[in-house]
Amino acid sequence: MNAHESNINRLRAILDGFGISISELKITGFSQPYCSRLIAGDKKCSSPKFFEVLEQNLGKLIDARKRRIFDLPSIAADDLINSLKSI
C-alpha cells in the first residue's frame, strides 16, 4: 500500500468514526466532487495539498461534525427541576 492509499484509508476511518460527511470536507477548500472521487479511490485525485490542509484543519472538522459520538441519556424535566431546587 502506498502513502496515497494509506491516507485514503485513514480519511475513510475518520469520516466513518466521527460521522463526518463528505460535504463537511469543504474545510479543505477542495470541491465536494473532488472529495467524493478521492474517497472513491480515483487515482487522478492525489493532491498532497488536500491532506496537508486537512491535517491543519482536522480539529475544526471534528468539532464541526453533526453526529454525536456517544449516546447521551436524556433527563426528565421534573428530575432536572428537583435537582436544581436541591442546590
Q: Is 43 part of any domain?
A: yes
Q: Is 82 part of any domain?
A: no
Measure the CA angle with vertex 51, ends 50 and 56; round to 5°: 100
Q: Is 83 part of any domain?
A: no
Q: Is 74 part of any domain?
A: no
pLDDT in tens, 51-85: 999 999 999 998 888 777 777 677 788 887 888 78
Q: How many CB atoms sit inside 10 A of residue 2's CB?
A: 8
Q: Is 56 part of any domain?
A: yes
Domain total of the chain:
1
Q: Is 87 part of any domain?
A: no
Q: Is 36 part of any domain?
A: yes
Domain that holds residue 37: 3-63
pLDDT in tens, 8-44: 999 999 999 888 999 999 889 999 999 999 999 888 8
pTM of structure:
0.73
Question: Could you identify the residue written with the cell 472529495?
Answer: 35
